[in-house]
Amino acid sequence: VQLQASGGGLVQPGGSLRLSCAASGFNLDYNAIGWFRQAPGKEREWVSCISSRDGSVWYVDSAKGRFTMSRDNGKNTMYLQMYSLKPEDTAVYYCAADSIRVCTVINGIIPSGYDMDYSGKGTQVTVSS
């Protein structure tokens, strides 16, 4: 089982990036899948999640209206399209997949301490002028 995130980089505030995550060893369409990020000195923050049971998508409040998560089952790949990027979006972004089909959202958020069963190396996103 392997997940590999890519697509990060340096972008100016207000810019866009699309992150990709290719999965191998299992089918993403049977798992809840998500993206989390971690900035230096800060707790991990879950950014988005897709439940495979009904296709519903959850976003952290700071990402709503700016980020769009999607997946391509044919390519076994998930994406995170990010628009209107802000300096506070700077972090290493990781993709993950769970062994359950629904996103673990508690009181409107996925707890920072929650671990999905699979995750891979992250990709750095830096938003700076």
pLDDT given for residue 25 in this prediction: 85
Closest C-alpha to 46, from 1, 104, 2:
104
If pLDDT is split at 50, 70 and 90, which confidence band does 1 have?
confident
**What is the pLDDT, as a whole number, of residue 28?**
84
Which pair of tokens denotes residue 8? 């990060």
Residue-wise pLDDT for 82-116, tens only, equals 999 999 999 999 999 999 999 999 999 999 999 99
The C-alpha atoms of residue 107 and residue 7 are separated, in whole angstroms, by 31
Q: What is the DSSP string of 10-61?
A: EE-TT--EEEEEEEESS-GGGS-EEEEEE-TTS--EEEEEE-TTT--EEE-G
pLDDT tens for residues 3-44? 999 999 999 999 999 999 999 987 888 899 999 999 999 999
